Amino acid sequence: MNTTISILQKNLASIQQQISDACQRSGRTPEDVQIIAVTKYADWSWVQDLSQLHNVFGENRPQQLAERQVLLPQIHWHLIGQLQRNKVRLTLHHAAMIHSVDSLRLLEAICAAAAAADQESTPPSILLQVNMSGEASKSGFAPAELPAIWPDVLRLCCGLRLCGLMTMAAESDTPESARPTFQGLRLLRDSLQNRDDTRDAGITLTELSMGMSGDFVPAVEEGATLVRIGSRLFEGLQTPH
Ligand SMILES: *Cc1c(COP(=O)(O)O)cnc(C)c1O
């Protein structure tokens, strides 16, 4: 086994251990938490090695996702970064899930593109990105706005699989300070799920995409089902020359 694979294996195992400890503390099942390996800064050789150990990867940019998906089609590729409407069709061809649907206009564009795509292609799974921290630098729906526009969301996501919410916590030095953000996303999900119109539409918001390298432990304790982990996974690897 080459050294890159053994380092990746060790990193993955230690992340999985922390996830299972967090599940134990919060009465959850580790199988309900999926690691999205964020490969946006990873060297291609690392990505190839990682594909022997793991099969769900996340990319920030539609173009890089598309290029890498063609080379590793057995991997489930998730788009986690901002999506421009002119990249929607490209993304639908290559992504299994889009975490970053951050406006009604984008949702509408995805809906239209999915309807125009051939019948055989599976409808994409989508998450709505919520800007819980309210920072101007972050995109996403405002948590207070979402209940008001929910009927529009339901109307626009026909034919798509709306399966949950995503957020990014504000940067900070301590993982603990992100906890209220994660708690808030879970409560927002619960209140949207409990609406009659959500149930009538047959929608189940099972997924909560929250937590990154620095704060995935409180995210799992607060109910994350998808954790997006980049730097921590590639720790200890040297960029090849
Ligand atoms: C880069 C990125 C991550 C992973 O960040 P790390 O701190 O490297 O784990 C997660 N989510 C999004 C949206 C990102 O852009």
pLDDT above 70 for 32: yes
How many domains does the structure of the chain reveal? 1
Model pLDDT, residue 120: 65
Residue 48 lies in a domain: yes
Quote the radius of gyration of the chain (alpha carbons, Å). 18
For ligand 1, the distance from its centroid to the CA atom of residue 60, given in whole angstroms, is: 8
- The answer to the question of residue 234 being in a domain is no
Q: Is 175 in the pocket of ligand 1 (CB under 6 A)?
A: no
pLDDT at 241: 66
Q: What is the dihedral of CA 135, 139, 140, 145, to 10 degrees?
A: 50
In a domain, 60, yes or no: yes
Would 149 be classed as within a structural domain? yes
Centre of ligand 1 from the C-alpha of residue 38, in Å: 6
Question: Which pLDDT band, with edges at 50, 70 and 90, does 2 fall under?
Answer: confident
Q: Tell how far the Cα of 124 is from the centroid of ligand 1, in angstroms.
A: 21
Tens of pLDDT, residues 109-157: 999 999 888 666 777 899 999 999 888 889 999 999 999 999 999 999 8
- pTM over the 0.75 mark: yes
- The band of 159, judged by pLDDT with boundaries at 50, 70 and 90, is confident
pLDDT given for residue 97 in this prediction: 98
pLDDT at 16 over 70: yes
Ligand 1 center to residue 192 CA distance, Å? 26
Residue 1: pLDDT band (50, 70, 90) is low
Residue 239 lies in a domain: no
For 48-92, the pLDDT digits (tens) are 999 999 999 999 999 999 999 999 999 999 999 999 999 999 999
Quick check: CB of 81 below 6 Å from ligand 1?
A: yes
Question: Is the Cβ atom of 212 under 6 angstroms away from ligand 1?
Answer: yes
Q: What is the 3-state secondary structure (H, E, C) of 214-225?
A: CCHHHHHHCCCC
- Alpha-carbon distance of 8 to 130, in angstroms, equals 31
Q: Which atom of ligand 1 is nearest to the CA of 99?
A: 13
Residue 121: φ, ψ to 5°: -70, 135
Instruction: List the one residue out of 187, 185, 224, 188 whose CA is nearest residue 207.
Output: 224
The string of pLDDT tens digits covering residues 171-215 is: 888 999 999 999 999 999 999 999 999 999 999 999 999 999 999
- 110: tokens are 């995805």
**What is the distance in A from the centroid of ligand 1 to the CA of 172?**
14
Q: Does residue 110 line the site of ligand 1, with CB under 6 A?
A: no
Take residue 204 and report the two structure tokens written for it.
């189940």
220 lies in some domain: yes
How far does the centroid of ligand 1 lie from the alpha carbon of residue 15, in Å?
A: 15
Stretch 95-115: mean pLDDT? 96
49 domain residue, yes or no: yes
- With a 6 Å cutoff on the Cβ, whether 80 touches ligand 1 is yes
User: Does the beta carbon of 213 sit less than 6 angstroms from any atom of ligand 1?
Assistant: yes
168 pocket-lining for ligand 1 (C-beta < 6 Å): yes
Label the pairing between strands 34-38 and 226-229. Answer: parallel
Q: How far apart are CA 220 and CA 24, in angstroms?
A: 10
CATH number for the domain that contains residue 172: 3.20.20.10
> Domain range spanning residue 147?
3-229
Ligand 1 in contact with 163 (CB < 6 A)?
A: no
In a domain, residue 236? The reply is no
